[in-house]
Amino acid sequence: MSSKGRVLVAMSGGVDSSVAAVMLREQGYEVIGITMKTWDYHRSGGNSGKETGCCTVESMNDARHIAVNHGFKHFIVDIREEFGDWVIDRFVEDYLDGRTPNPCVLCNTHIKWAALMKRADNLGCDFIATGHYANVREENNRFVISRGLDRSKDQSYALWGVHQKHLARTIFPLGSYSKKEIRQIAEDHGLLNVANKPDSYEICFVPDDDYRRFLKDRVQGLEERVKGGDFVDKQGNILGQHEGYPFYTIGQRRGLNIPMGKPVYVTHIDPKTNTITIGEKEDLMESTLIAKELNFIKYDKVPNGEMEITGAIRYNDTGAYGIMTQLGEDEMKVHFPAGREAITPGQAIVCYEGDDVVAGGWIKKVNVPLQQEMDSLV
Please pick, among 54, 104, 125, 204, the residue that the annotation labels catalytic: 204
User: What does the pLDDT read at residue 368?
Assistant: 65
User: What does the pLDDT read at residue 124?
Assistant: 97
User: What does the pLDDT read at residue 41?
Assistant: 58
Packing angle of the helix pair 15-26, 57-69 (nearest 10 deg): 20
**Domain 285-377 CATH assignment equals 2.40.30.10:** yes
Nearest to 205 by CA among 63, 93, 51, 57: 51
Topology at the third CATH level for domain 6-188: Rossmann fold (3.40.50)
Q: Give the C-alpha separation, 200 to 39, whole Å.
A: 16
204 is known as an active-site residue = yes
* The three-state (H, E, C) secondary structure of the chain, written as one string: CCCCCEEEEECCCCHHHHHHHHHHHHCCCEEEEEEEECCCHHHCCCCCCCCCCCCCHHHHHHHHHHHHHCCCEEEEEECHHHHHHHHHHHHHHHHHCCCCCCHHHHHHHHHHHHHHHHHHHHCCCCEEECCCCEEEEEECCEEEEEECCCCCCCCHHHHCCCCHHHHCCEECCCCCCCHHHHHHHHHHCCCCCCCCCCCCCCCCCCCCCCHHHHHHHHCCCHHHHHCCCEEECCCCCEEEECCCHHHCCCCCCCCCCCCCCCCCEEEEEECCCCEEEEECHHHHEEEEEEEEEEEECCCCCCHHHEEEEEEECCCCCCCEEEEEEEEECCEEEEEEEEEEECCCECEEEEEEECCEEEEEEEEEEECCCHHHHHHHHC
Pairing of strands 134-139, 230-232: unpaired
Question: What tens-digit pLDDT sequence spans the chain (378 residues)?
Answer: 667 899 999 999 999 999 999 999 999 999 999 999 887 755 444 444 444 455 578 888 999 999 999 999 999 999 888 888 789 999 999 999 999 999 988 888 878 898 899 999 999 999 999 999 999 999 999 999 999 999 999 999 999 999 999 999 999 999 999 999 999 999 999 998 899 888 876 688 887 889 999 999 999 999 999 999 999 999 999 999 999 999 999 999 999 988 888 999 999 999 999 999 999 999 999 999 999 999 999 999 999 999 999 999 998 899 999 999 999 899 999 999 999 999 999 999 999 999 999 999 999 999 865 545 445 554
Q: In what order do the strands lie in the sheet with 238-241?
A: 238-241, 230-232, 275-279, 265-270
The domain limits of the chain are: 6-188, 227-279, 285-377
Q: Give the C-alpha separation, 302 to 83, whole Å.
A: 31
User: What does the pLDDT read at residue 93?
Assistant: 95
Please pick, among 54, 107, 125, 351, the residue that the annotation labels catalytic: 107
55 is known as an active-site residue = no
Q: Give the C-alpha separation, 125 to 143, whole Å.
A: 19
CATH-assigned architecture of domain 227-279: Roll (2.30)
Chain mean position to CA 360: 12
